[in-house]
Chains A and B, each alone.
Chain A
C-alpha cells in the first residue's frame, strides 16, 4: 500500500511500525500512569462507593417496604381477628340477653299466672262462701215461710190460728 500518503503533518518523522517506536514510550507511560491512577482514584473513592451505597439503600428500602407490608398485613389480620371476636362476643351476648329475657318473661308470666290463680281461687272460695250463706239464709227463711203458710192454711180450715209451738212441732216432725 502507498507509502507516499499523508506524512506531512508529522514533524517527528517516525520510523518503523508505530506501536514499536520507542521514542514515544516515555510520554505514553507518563500519561497512562497519570490517567490510570486518576481513574482509579475517581472509581475507588467516588464512583464505586456511591454505587455500592445506592445498592445498599435500595435493598434497605425494599426490605423496609416488605417489613412495613408484613406489619400492615399483621395489623389487618389482627383487626380481622378482633372483628371476628367482637362479632362472636356480640352474638354470644345477644344469645345471653335473649335467653335471660325469655327466662325472665317466663318467670313473670308464671308469677302473674300464679297470682291470677290465687285470686281466682280466693274469689271462688268467697263465692262458695256467699252461696253457702245465701243457701243457709234461704233455708232459714223456708221454715218461717212454712210456719206462716201452715198457720194461714189451718186458719182457713178451722177458722182460728193454731198456737205457734204446735206449728213448730209439726214442722220439726215433718222435716224428719
Chain B
C-alpha cells in the first residue's frame, strides 16, 4: 500500500492519444474510472430494466428507487417545471454517487477528488442556470439579485452581496465535493498507513495497530455515508440553483 496519502490522487497517463496545438491528450486512470462509472450506471439502469417487470427484481428495484429518489428531489426543490432538468440532475447525481462510492474501493481512483472535475460539473450547472434563466425570464432574471422588501438605502449593498454570492456558487459547489472526497481519502490513507507502520514494528506494534485498524473500519463507514451525502448535496444544490433560474422572483 502507498504510504504517501496524496499518492492516491495522482493521475497516471495510461495511453497517449493525440495532441492538439502542442497539448498531448492521454487516456488516464481517471478516464478509466469514468468509463467504469458509465458502464456500471448503464448496467444498473439499462441492463436491469430490460425485463420491464411489473413486479421488479432487486436490481430493477434499485434502478426505480434511484429514479424516484432523484425525481422527488427535483420536484420538491425546483417544482414540476424543474422536471425538464430531471435527466441532467439524474445523470449528475448518479455520476457523482458512483464516482464517490467506487473511489472507496482500495486501489481504485476517486474521480470526484479532482478539482478540475468537480469545477467542470459545477460550472456546467452554473452556466445552465444563467443561460436558462435569461432564456426563460429575459431580463427579469436579474430580479434574482434584487430581493423584495429591502429598504432603498441598503439595496445597492444587498444587490452587490447577492451578485457576489451568486458568482461564488460554482466555487462552493465544486470545492465542497472535492474537499470532502480529498479529506476523507487522506484521512483513510493516514490511518491505514499507521496500521502498516505499527504492524511492522514488532509484537507490541501488532496490538497497537488494532486501534487505527478499527478507526479505518469506522472511517470507511463514515466515508460511505459522506460519499452518498455529498452526491445528494451536489444534486440538491443543483436543483436549488435551477429553481432560481425557473423562479427568479424568490
B116 at the interface (CB under 8 A from A): yes
**B95–A36 touching, CB < 8 Å:** yes
A87 at the interface (CB under 8 A from B): no
A38 at the interface (CB under 8 A from B): yes
Q: From A1, A6, A10, A20, give the contact of B5 (CB < 8 A).
A: A1
**B64–A43 touching, CB < 8 Å:** no
B140 at the interface (CB under 8 A from A): no
Within 8 A of B (CB), among A115-137: none
A35 at the interface (CB under 8 A from B): yes
Contact with B along A13-45 (1 / 0, CB 8 A): 010011111001111111111011011101110
**A50–B46 touching, CB < 8 Å:** yes
Contacts of B190 in A (CB 8 A): 1
Interface SS, B side = helix
Contact A43:B116 (CB < 8 A) given known A3-B4, A51-B64: no
Contacts of A39 in B (CB 8 A): 37-38, 41-42, 91, 94-95
**B25–A12 touching, CB < 8 Å:** no
Contact with A along B27-60 (1 / 0, CB 8 A): 1101100110110011001100100111010001
Contacts of A58 in B (CB 8 A): 54
A164 at the interface (CB under 8 A from B): no
Contact A43:B120 (CB < 8 A) given known A19-B182, A20-B115: no
Contacts of A27 in B (CB 8 A): 11, 13, 25-28, 30-31
Q: From B46, B64, B113, give the contact of A54 (CB < 8 A).
A: B64
**B42–A47 touching, CB < 8 Å:** yes
Contact with A along B188-207 (1 / 0, CB 8 A): 00100100000000000000
Q: From A1, A2, A24, give the contact of B11 (CB < 8 A).
A: A24
In the complex, A61→B3 CA distance in Å? 57
Within 8 A of A (CB), among B46-100: 46, 49, 52-54, 56, 60, 63-64, 67, 86-88, 90-91, 94-95
Contact A19:B113 (CB < 8 A) given known A5-B3, A27-B28: yes
**A35–B35 touching, CB < 8 Å:** yes
What are 19 A-to-B residue pairs whose CB atoms are below 8 Å? A6-B7, A18-B11, A19-B182, A24-B30, A24-B116, A25-B116, A27-B30, A31-B31, A32-B116, A32-B117, A33-B120, A38-B38, A39-B37, A40-B91, A43-B87, A48-B87, A50-B49, A53-B52, A55-B67
Task: List residues of B whose CB falls within 8 A of some A CB.
Answer: 2-7, 9-13, 23, 25-28, 30-31, 34-35, 37-38, 41-42, 45-46, 49, 52-54, 56, 60, 63-64, 67, 86-88, 90-91, 94-95, 111, 113-117, 120-121, 178, 182, 190, 193
Other than the given A14-B11, A42-B46, A50-B52, 14 more pairs (CB < 8 A) read A5-B4, A25-B116, A26-B23, A26-B25, A27-B27, A31-B27, A35-B31, A36-B95, A36-B121, A42-B38, A47-B49, A51-B64, A57-B52, A57-B54
Task: List residues of A whose CB falls within 8 A of some B CB.
Answer: 1-3, 5-6, 9-12, 14, 17-21, 24-33, 35-36, 38-40, 42-44, 46-48, 50-55, 57-58, 61
